[in-house]
Amino acid sequence: MVRRLSVCSEGPRLEVKVVTNPSNPNNVTDSANGIIDGGAVGDIDVTLNSTLAYPATDEQAELSTSVTFTEVTETINIALVIDTSGSTSNSSGTDFTGDGNNENILQAELFAAQELFDAYIAAGYTADEVNITLIDYSTDAFERGTFNLSQGSEFAAALQAINDDGPSGWTNYQAALEEVDTAWADNGVSDQDTNIVIFASDGFPVLPGGGSQDFDTPARALENDYGAVIKAIGLGANSSLDDLETVATEVNGVPLAEQVTSGAELLDFIVEPLVNVDFAGFEIIVEGELFEFVPVDDPRVQATPTGWTINCIILDGYNLMPGDTLDVQVNAQFGVDPDFQTVTNNLSIGVVVCFVEGTHILTPDGPVPVETLSVGDRVVTRDHGVQKVRWIGSSPVEPEIMAIKPALKPIFFAAGSLGKGLPERDLRVSRQHRFLVRDWRAEMMFGEPDGVLTPAFTLCNDSTIRMDHGKERVVYYHVAFENHEVIYAEGVETESFFPNRKTIEALPEDMREELLTLFPQLLEQDEPDSVYTSARDQLKPRVGVLLS
C-alpha cells in the first residue's frame, strides 16, 4: 500500500534542495505534449516532462515533474531592470521581506531580484538553461553582468554592489530599455530563445528639467527584435502604474504591469507563468493507486514564467521484489474538477540484485573476487554444476546518493553470522539480493525441502547482519548465466542475476542493450517469467522476515 509523499528538503518556499540528477543518462523519463483549451486566450500548447531518478530501490524512488509551455525554448534569457533613482530611497509602504519593517523601494527591488534567481534554481533549471542580465538605471543605465544559475554568489555580489551604491539621480526608462537591447545584442541573444524583461520601478520616470522620454519605442523594439515579454512591477503602495503600463507587453489587450503591495504578491507576479491558463495541479499515481494530488498553490509546486515544477518528491510506501517494476503515472490537470483536461506521463523503473565489489565467487579454481570475472569464465552452481558466465555488469553508487536513498546501502553479513562458519568472510550484497534458505524452516514453513530464496534484508538481526552505513562508494556487480542459478558467494548459497524482462528494464541502457542481445527471448516475453524460471520459490519480504 502506497502511503505518503515527502519533499526531499523541508523549508521555506524557494529553499528547496534539488537532489534529482537530471543529467544522469540512466534516469527514466517521459515527455508528452497536449493542447489545452485556454478559453478566450485560445488553444495553448503545453509539455509535461517527468523523471524517475536512477537508481530506484525496492522501497523508494525519486520523482521530478514539470509543465512548460511548448513554445518555451531550452535557453531562457531574463533581463532584470532595477530602478536606482533618488526616489527609490522612499519607503515602499510595504514589508516585503516579512521582518516587520517597510523596505524602501530599492531594497524591495533587490529582494525581488534575488527571489527570481532562486525561483529558477528551485524549479530545477540547470545552469546553462537560464541567463540573467542585471541592469540598474537612474539618469543613465548600466549592465552589471550576465549570470547563469551556477553563479549565485556572483549574482548576490552584484546586487550588494547596487545596494552599496544606493539611490541617486533621475529616472530614465528609455535608457534602461535601450541598455537591455545593447546587452542582449552583445550576448548574442536570439529571437528563437525565450526572452523575458522584468522591469521594476516606483513608476515615476523623471528627467532633468522635465525632459521627455520615448520609452514606448525601445520597449516595442525588444518585443519585435527578440520576441521579448516585458513584465513591469510597481513596488509598494506608493507606486504608480501609469507609465509602467506603457512599458509592459500587452496580452489580450491587458498590459503585464502590476502594483505589488506584499511579499506574496511580489513572488507571485515575478514567477507567475507568462501564459494565462487554468492549471490545477499534478496528480501522481503509483502502482495504480492515487498517491497524491498536489494543487498548484501547494508550496511544493514552484512557478516560473515558463510553467510549473515539482522537484525531488520521494515516492515510498511500496514494497517491490527483484524483477518487479515500479509504475508511476503523472497527470498534469487543467481546468476545474470534474472537467479536467489532462496531459499524462507514464514511467516504469525496476529493481535489480547484485554483489558488492570484493565478494568472492566460487569457481573450479577456487574463490575469486566478483570484479575479476569475465564472460566465459566458469563458476560453480548448486543445481547445474559448472556453468559459464554469460554476462557481467557493474553499477557504482556514490555515498551522497546512498545518503538520500538508504535502501541503496548494502546489507552486511559478518563472517560466520549465518552459522557453520558462513559466510567465510564478511559479505555485502544489495538489500534485495536473495539467499537460499534450505533447512527445517523452508520445509516446515513453506513445504520446500530444496529451500526458498529470501531477500538479504529479511535476515537482518541488527548485530551480525545489518545495513552497512559505510561512507565509501559502493560498486554492485551483476552476474548472469544461461539460467537463474544458485551460486556460492563467500561460501553462502545465493542467487545469480535473474534474466527476465523487468530486471533488465531496471538496468542502465548500455547494460540493457547488451543483455537483450544475449537473451533475445526476453524481447518476445508476454509474461515476465515466461522464458526464465527462478532457481527456487521466492519469498515476499513480509514472509521472508519470518525466517529471521
Per-residue pLDDT, 142:
96
The neighbouring-strand residues paired with 234 are 201, 259
Spatial distance between the Cα atoms of 384 and 367, rounded to a whole number of angstroms: 18
Q: Are 493 and 423 in contact (CB under 8 A)?
A: no
Low-confidence winner among 41-45, 170-174, 379-383, 524-528 (lowest mean pLDDT): 524-528
Quick one: what percent of the chain has pLDDT higher than 90? 41
Q: Say whether domain 31-71+276-350 belongs to CATH 2.60.40.1930.
A: yes
What does each C-alpha distance from 507 to 57, 347, 439, 499 come to in angstroms? Answer: 12, 14, 33, 11
Band the pLDDT of 29: cuts 50, 70, 90: confident
Domain ranges of the chain: 31-71+276-350, 76-271, 355-524+531-545
Q: Are 487 and 495 in contact (CB under 8 A)?
A: yes
Band the pLDDT of 524: cuts 50, 70, 90: low
Question: Is residue 542's pLDDT more than 80?
Answer: no
pLDDT tens-digit series, residues 401-454: 788 778 788 999 999 999 989 999 999 998 888 899 888 887 778 788 888 998
Band the pLDDT of 519: cuts 50, 70, 90: low
Q: Are 102 and 92 in contact (CB under 8 A)?
A: yes
User: Mean of the per-residue pLDDT values for the chain?
Assistant: 83
Per-residue pLDDT, 20:
42
Spatial distance between the Cα atoms of 539 and 335, rounded to a whole number of angstroms: 46
Low-confidence winner among 29-43, 207-221, 353-367 (lowest mean pLDDT): 29-43
Query: Hey, what's the torsion of the CAs at 497, 502, 508, 514, to 10 degrees?
Result: 70
Band the pLDDT of 92: cuts 50, 70, 90: confident
Q: Cell 493542447, residue? A: 35
- Domain 355-524+531-545 is of which CATH architecture? Beta Complex (2.170)
Cell representation of residue 340 = 479536467
Per-residue pLDDT, 317:
75
Question: Is residue 87's pLDDT more than 70?
Answer: yes
Band the pLDDT of 351: cuts 50, 70, 90: low
The neighbouring-strand residues paired with 345 are 330
Q: Cell 575479476, residue? A: 372
Question: Is residue 399's pLDDT more than 90?
Answer: no
Spatial distance between the Cα atoms of 170 and 47, rounded to a whole number of angstroms: 44
Spatial distance between the Cα atoms of 18 and 312, rounded to a whole number of angstroms: 6
Spatial distance between the Cα atoms of 200 and 116, rounded to a whole number of angstroms: 13
Per-residue pLDDT, 41:
53
Spatial distance between the Cα atoms of 229 and 220, rounded to a whole number of angstroms: 10
Query: Does an H or E element contain 62, and which?
Result: strand 60-69
Q: Say whether domain 76-271 belongs to CATH 3.30.1280.10.
A: no
pLDDT tens-digit series, residues 275-294: 667 889 999 999 889 999 99
246's CB contacts (< 8 A; 6+ apart) are 215, 216, 219, 255
Spatial distance between the Cα atoms of 353 and 58, rounded to a whole number of angstroms: 10
pLDDT tens-digit series, residues 231-240: 999 988 888 8
